[in-house]
Structure formats: C-alpha cells, structure tokens
C-alpha cells in the first residue's frame, strides 16, 4: 500500500476557472479562505476578541479587520470570521478561539462557503440586480456587511472598498450566484 500512502487528496475549488464581468465590473472567485461560524454570549465577546486578535463588532451590519482576519456581525451572538489564505485545513481560527477559554462555539465552515469578489464602478448596480439592499455609501459604507438574499439564494455581503464587495455564499449556490452576478454585470455596463 505504499503507493497509496503518497496519495494525498488535492483540493478542487467551487467556481474554479470561472471569470466574468463587463466593462463596468469584474467578477472573480476569491482565494480559498479559512472560515468559522463563531457563536458566543455578550459576556464573553471581549475574551474572544482578544483570542482572535480583532475587535468583534457588536453593531449590526458592521465588520472589523485586523491581523489578516475579518469578523462580520451576523447576529447578536453570531459572527462570520475569515482569515486570508486558507491553503491549509481550517484550524488556526478554531484554535485561536479555543485559546479564549470561555464558552463559545467555533465551527469550521471554510469549505461550506466560497466567495466571489465584485469590483468596479458598476459593482453596486451589479449586486442590485438581485439584492434589495440600499448599497449607497451612506447606507452601506465600506466595512458594512449583511446576511441577505441575492435572487433566490442567501449571501453574506461585505463592502471592502467603495467599489468592491465580497459575496460569501454556500458552495452549491455559487454557480447560481455567479450566474446572476454575470447578468447584473452585463446590465450595469449599459
């Protein structure tokens, strides 16, 4: 069985090889990332913040980033935390959370989600093809995030720059999300 010992599984990414967009917007799959769904009570938020090295946001629709990690407020006791990179299997975030030594739930969802980056002057219009949120900078500034609907699927939307958004979506919905974004991108360029 020696030949099998060297048989290490290789990774196949959802949306691998797809790209799209229009004159007004660029669509591309994000790099793989390590992700956890973090749940913790209000009394222990600061302990988890310290353990993760960023301030977990406590205001709805906000996010925070530090040390290559980003935390998105999803609910009163729920955050989506992702870390740049993620070539390895997602354990650095769960380990960091565990080091807090307070009661919490950190569940690895690195592979549950995938992300699509939407950038360019038509980015907001592209998303508004299927997303009912007000994406003006006043209502949805840089760093704003929301778990919301895009057409018929759930996404978590994060604005990373004036004209750049990150769309987190469950992997089996990513083809649909990319397809609808492509339609939105085509229309946003008109």
Partner 1 sequence: MSASSNSGAFRIKGAGRLTPARTARFTFDGKSYTALEGDTVAAALLAHGVHLLGRSFKYHRPRGILTAGPEEPNALLDVSRDAARRQPNVRATVQEVFDGAKISSQNRWPSLKYDIGAANDVLSPFFAVGFYYKTFMWPKEAWAKIYEPIIRRSAGLGVSPTEEDPDHYASRYVHCDVLIAGAGVAGLTAALSAAATGKKIILVDEQPEVGGALHYDASTTIDGQNGYDWAQATAAKLKAMPNVTVLTRTTVFGYYNHGFLGLVERITDHVAKPTKDAPRERLWQVRTKKVILATGSIERHMVFANNDRPGIMLASAARSFLNHHGVTVGHNVGVYTAHDSAYEAAFDLKRAGVSIAAIVDSRDKPGEAVLAEARKLGIDVLTGHAVVDTSGRLRINSMTVARNGNFDRRKIKVDALIVSAGWTPSVHLFSQSRGKLKFDEANQRFVPDVYAQNSVSAGGCNGTDNLAELIDEAITAGGGRIALSGENRFEWTGGMIGAAEGAGPDHAVKAFVDFQHDVTAKDIRLAVREGMHSIEHIKRFTTNGMASDQGKLSNMHGLAIASEMLGRPIPQVGLTTFRAPYTPVTYGTLINHSRGELFDPARKTPMHALEEAEGAEFEDVGNWKRAWYFPKRGEDMHTAVSRECKTVRDVAGIFDASTLGKIEVVGPDAAQFLNLLYTNAWDTLKPGKCRYGIMTREDGFIYDDGVVGRLAEDRFHVTTTTGGAPRVLNHMEDYLQTEFPHLKVWLTSTTEQWAVIAVQGPKAREIIEPFVEGQDLSNEAFPHMSVAECTVMGVPARLFRVSFTGEVGFEINVPADYGAAVWKAIWERAQSMGACLYGTETMHILRAEKGYLIVGQDTDGTVTPDDAGYGWAVSKKKTDFVGIRGLKRPDLVREGRKQLVGLMTKDPKEVLEEGGQIVADPNQPKPMTMLGHVTSSYWSENLGRSIAIALVAGGRSRMGETLYVPMADKTIAVEVTDMVFFDKEGGRING
> What is the contact surface with partner 1 in residues (CB under 8 A)?
1, 4, 7-14, 22, 32, 37, 39, 41, 77, 89-91, 103-113, 125, 128-134, 136, 139, 151-153, 170-173, 175-176, 179-180, 183, 186-187, 189-190
Task: Name the strand (E) or helix (H) holding 162.
Answer: none
Report whether 97 contacts 48 (CB < 8 A): yes
Nearer to partner 1, 25 or 67 (CB): 25
Cα separation, 33 vs 18, whole angstroms = 18
| CA neighbours closer than 13 Å in the CB half-sphere of residue 68 | 8
Supply the minimum distance, in Å, between the C-beta of residue 13 and partner 1. Answer: 6
Closest CA to 61 of 140, 128, 125: 140
Cα separation, 161 vs 140, whole angstroms = 11
Nearer to partner 1, 128 or 160 (CB): 128
Nearer to partner 1, 28 or 108 (CB): 108
Supply the minimum distance, in Å, between the C-beta of residue 42 and partner 1. Answer: 13
Supply the minimum distance, in Å, between the C-beta of residue 38 and partner 1. Answer: 9
Supply the minimum distance, in Å, between the C-beta of residue 135 and partner 1. Answer: 8
Written as six digits, the tokens of 60 are 């709805």
Nearer to partner 1, 67 or 136 (CB): 136
Cα separation, 3 vs 103, whole angstroms = 44
Supply the minimum distance, in Å, between the C-beta of residue 50 and partner 1. Answer: 20
Alpha carbon 106 to chain centroid, angstroms? 16
Task: Name the strand (E) or helix (H) holding 66.
Answer: strand 63-66
Cα separation, 88 vs 184, whole angstroms = 33
Nearer to partner 1, 66 or 103 (CB): 103
Nearer to partner 1, 62 or 170 (CB): 170
């Amino acid at each position: 069985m020696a030949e099998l010992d060297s048989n290490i599984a290789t990774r196949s990414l959802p949306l691998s090889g797809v790209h799209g967009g229009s004159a007004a917007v660029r669509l591309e799959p994000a790099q793989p990332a390590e992700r956890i769904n973090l749940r913790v009570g209000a009394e222990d938020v600061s302990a988890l913040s310290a353990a993760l090295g960023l301030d977990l946001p406590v205001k709805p629709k906000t996010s925070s980033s530090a040390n290559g990690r980003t935390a998105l407020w999803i609910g009163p006791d729920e955050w989506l935390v992702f870390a740049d990179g993620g070539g390895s299997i997602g354990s650095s975030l769960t380990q960091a959370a565990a080091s807090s030594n307070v009661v919490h739930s950190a569940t690895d969802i690195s592979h549950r989600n995938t992300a699509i980056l939407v950038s360019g002057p038509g980015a907001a219009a592209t998303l508004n093809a299927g997303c009912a949120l007000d994406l003006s900078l006043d209502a949805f500034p840089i760093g704003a995030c929301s778990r919301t609907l895009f057409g018929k699927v759930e996404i978590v939307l994060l604005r990373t720059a004036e004209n750049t958004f990150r769309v987190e979506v469950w992997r089996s919905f990513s083809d649909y999300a990319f397809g609808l974004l492509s339609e939105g991108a085509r229309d946003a360029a008109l």
